[in-house]
Structure 1
């Protein structure tokens, strides 16, 4: 294992060294360091050129300048990082990277997690319902989303996901109910195709999904929820109970009453702790250290509940209760964040238009931890959706293809022949091996988005790594560009190592000590 890691690190370090050297030479040849002076009519233009040449040390051979930059970058290994200076802004590159990396990680974390969960879930269902109307619809939708230009999607999201939604939230009135009816019928068809079954079951599913969708939309419009969204105690309990049932169904099946009871118990504990947590959130100044600590405590309690209920496999019970507990904890957190909605929407800096179209945060917002998180969420919403739509399409296609291949294997037929139900065959035997292709795709995809969300960040004014790269290229600042290349290169190395280890975890036949 250690030899494998050392060999990989050494080979990739040599590759990274050669790549940075070549790119430094190419950037030096391609960049115009006097772009802002060429149109100047200043009488001392020659002095300005000479001053710029001395500032950037352009009289020194480019190879020597590269090794000078490399010596500063190598200091990061011992904690003395010197990645140069962005000469146009007269700012240290390390200072620029701090904010850019944080903003990009926020954006990528939100969009990637959502895309993986939705993509895998829809891909699995599409594989199970192969050659049905649902499968054809998902296939068409995946290809459509994958082919959409990001800049076009971003512009549409700005218009209809922010401007029109903000207008509607200020005046929540419908000109016609026909769009609502069409959406509800579409939801009925979607869930009918996803759940499947005989004709009677499909009709019941269609009617139930359509009526539930219509009742939900009617409640949103009639209760004023659109103007002041919230989850509340009832919402936490209802959604938590639904999550308990769904997680039990996916994990062990609803026939395992012990696991279902354990999951419901976790929801009851969350409901009992709802009000005490509200007092804690009010009297204690919260930060992310507090939130992470409370989440770890919640997971520990849920694991204890699961192990106490035991069952045929105690760790199956514990895993199900832990996931349910995390969902309930996230609901309580989101509920507390949404309690700031009225104050946030009425803030002079927001002026009743909370869905942001540009930037990573609103200026002059100083409402503490909860309002700050709400502000971050409203700015994350549109760029995250833009990235999710593209990633969702690829994850769906990969998962569907992989699951179809796995479902045709001999051991799947053997599992069915032994009398195992379809849920156990799919969730226990097929899904784990079906996730193998994603083990190599997801880490690399994350790195690609961290280094390549240039269009999304530019359109939405999101000051992340992609925006830093494109702005530095436009200003002929070589040091920030080199820092961007080094960071994305190192992350690519880490992504490939993670992919190797994920393969070993998901497939016991694979070893990484070769």
Structure 2
């Protein structure tokens, strides 16, 4: 394995070297970095041109100038790494770091949500092949995939941001809307769960009644102006998470794993009010420390419950604990919503349509979190909707192929439950094509979701690349290329290693 990794890294570095050399030449010959100065009317135009030429080494031919740039990159081994400067004399590394931070903030959440939702949809549609749910999801996925990104972004601005902000001015849900939304909920849930017509009818009735009660409560309690979950809702969600995680991880019949998860939820709810004092002056590191502690408590509880496999109980309880901690985090952030939405800088329109932050807005961690995610909402939703089709279709096709394999039929013939067959035998192998797609998408997205960033005014890698290309700023373009190229190589290597972990039949020698 170690030899394989070294060989792949060596090949990747050779490819990166050749590609970067070609990219440098193409960019350098694409225009004149002195064009703005040549048309200038400044009295010292000659000195400005000479100063920039010396700054960017323009007197050296591009096919040799590349090695000057490469020498700065290779100085990483002596702690003097540099990507050169832009035409204004600013270090490219500083601009690249700011752009990468902005892009990573945008694409990390969208990639995680797109992958998670896409895989869930793909597997469930494969298990319900040719059902109404399958056809509906397929139609919706391809609809969003085929829509132009700029048009979808504009629609999200109009109806999700502007429309919701207008709604918040007078947050009232009319009864006709409540009934229509409840009917939609009934149709969706009966289609997802399926079964006999009697089961479908019962599912539809429960979904209709639940949606009706929830929407009525949200409207009657004026929840949209001062949202919160509270301990009762958090406890209910925690119990639901415990059952869902146990069902997917070990199966409900594994009582020790289920009891471990439920005890973890009980411990979390006992700490609900004490944690509110910890949240007052919390920082990012405080939240991360709490997440680690939650995972540790879950592992300890699962380990103490013993059972035929302690690790299964510990794993299940730890996932439940961290998930409940996330619910607590959301609940506490909601507690600052009213302060955030009524701020003089937000003006009662909290869902932002442009930029990555609200200028001059100051506050504690929770105000910062709400501000960040109010700006992330629209571009993230745009990227998720566009990526759903590829992830869901790949995972659906892969699951269908895996479910027809001989070892799946053997597992069923042995009397294993459907959950065990799907989650322990089919799920891992069905992820191989999705892993390939994920690694390619990450490399592309690190390069910047150019159109999305432009529409939402997000100053990330895509914006950096466009501006640098317009100015024939070779060093900035090469910094962009180096980051995206290295990311593609690294994540393709990770994909090769993950293949052997997902499918035991694949071995790297």
Greater mean alpha carbon deviation, residues 469-478 or residues 388-397:
469-478
Inter-partner Cα distance in structure 2 for 1:40 and 1:470 = 23
Query: The residue matched to 1:19 in structure 2 has which SS?
Result: helix
Q: Note the C-alpha offset of 1:254.
A: 2.5
Counterpart residue number, 2:234: 236
Counterpart residue number, 1:106: 105
Match for 2:217 among 211, 216, 219? 219
Inter-partner Cα distance in structure 1 for 2:236 and 2:118 = 25
* Matched pairs, number: 509
Inter-partner Cα distance in structure 2 for 1:370 and 1:467 = 29
Are 2:354 and 2:457, in contact at CA under 8 Å, matched by a contact in 1?
A: yes
Q: Deviations over 1:285-315 (max 9, x none)?
A: 4322222222111101101111222333322
Q: Deviations over 1:167-204 (max 9, x none)?
A: 11121134x54444333222222211211221111111
Inter-partner Cα distance in structure 2 for 1:474 and 1:129 = 50
Q: Note the C-alpha offset of 1:443.
A: 2.1
Q: Note the C-alpha offset of 1:485.
A: 0.1
| Matched ranges for 1:63-82 at <5 A | 63-82=63-82
- 1:390 matches 2:383: no
Counterpart residue number, 1:31: 31
Q: Note the C-alpha offset of 1:42.
A: 4.8
Greater mean alpha carbon deviation, residues 218-227 or residues 34-43:
34-43
**TM-score, normalised by the number of residues in structure 2:** 0.96
Inter-partner Cα distance in structure 2 for 1:372 and 1:473 = 33
Q: Note the C-alpha offset of 1:240.
A: 1.1
Q: Note the C-alpha offset of 1:31.
A: 2.7
- 1:118 matches 2:117: yes
Query: The residue matched to 2:29 in structure 1 has which SS?
Result: helix
Inter-partner Cα distance in structure 2 for 1:177 and 1:449 = 42
Q: How large is the RMSD of aligned CA atoms in angstroms? A: 1.8
Greater mean alpha carbon deviation, residues 346-355 or residues 54-63:
54-63
Q: Note the C-alpha offset of 1:49.
A: 4.3
Inter-partner Cα distance in structure 1 for 2:242 and 2:257 = 9
Inter-partner Cα distance in structure 1 for 2:87 and 2:331 = 45
Greater mean alpha carbon deviation, residues 450-459 or residues 489-498:
450-459
Counterpart residue number, 1:152: 151
Greater mean alpha carbon deviation, residues 483-492 or residues 473-482:
473-482
Q: Deviations over 1:342-365 (max 9, x none)?
A: 221122111111111111111112
- 1:331 matches 2:327: yes
Counterpart residue number, 2:5: 5
Q: Note the C-alpha offset of 1:490.
A: 0.7
The unaligned stretches of length 5 or more in structure 1 are none
Greater mean alpha carbon deviation, residues 160-169 or residues 45-54:
45-54
Inter-partner Cα distance in structure 1 for 2:249 and 2:176 = 39
Inter-partner Cα distance in structure 2 for 1:309 and 1:222 = 43
Match for 2:308 among 312, 316, 327? 312
Counterpart residue number, 1:197: 195
Counterpart residue number, 2:279: 281
Change (3 A) 1:410 1:147: same
Greater mean alpha carbon deviation, residues 61-70 or residues 127-136:
61-70
Counterpart residue number, 2:496: 500
Inter-partner Cα distance in structure 2 for 1:76 and 1:205 = 61
Q: Note the C-alpha offset of 1:48.
A: 4.8
Q: Note the C-alpha offset of 1:7.
A: 1.0
Counterpart residue number, 1:142: 141
Greater mean alpha carbon deviation, residues 249-258 or residues 491-500:
249-258
Inter-partner Cα distance in structure 2 for 1:501 and 1:293 = 30
Q: Deviations over 1:221-279 (max 9, x none)?
A: 22111122222222211111111111122223323333222211111111111111111
Are 2:56 and 2:85, in contact at CA under 8 Å, matched by a contact in 1?
A: no
Change (3 A) 1:402 1:363: same
**TM-score, normalised by the number of residues in structure 1:** 0.95
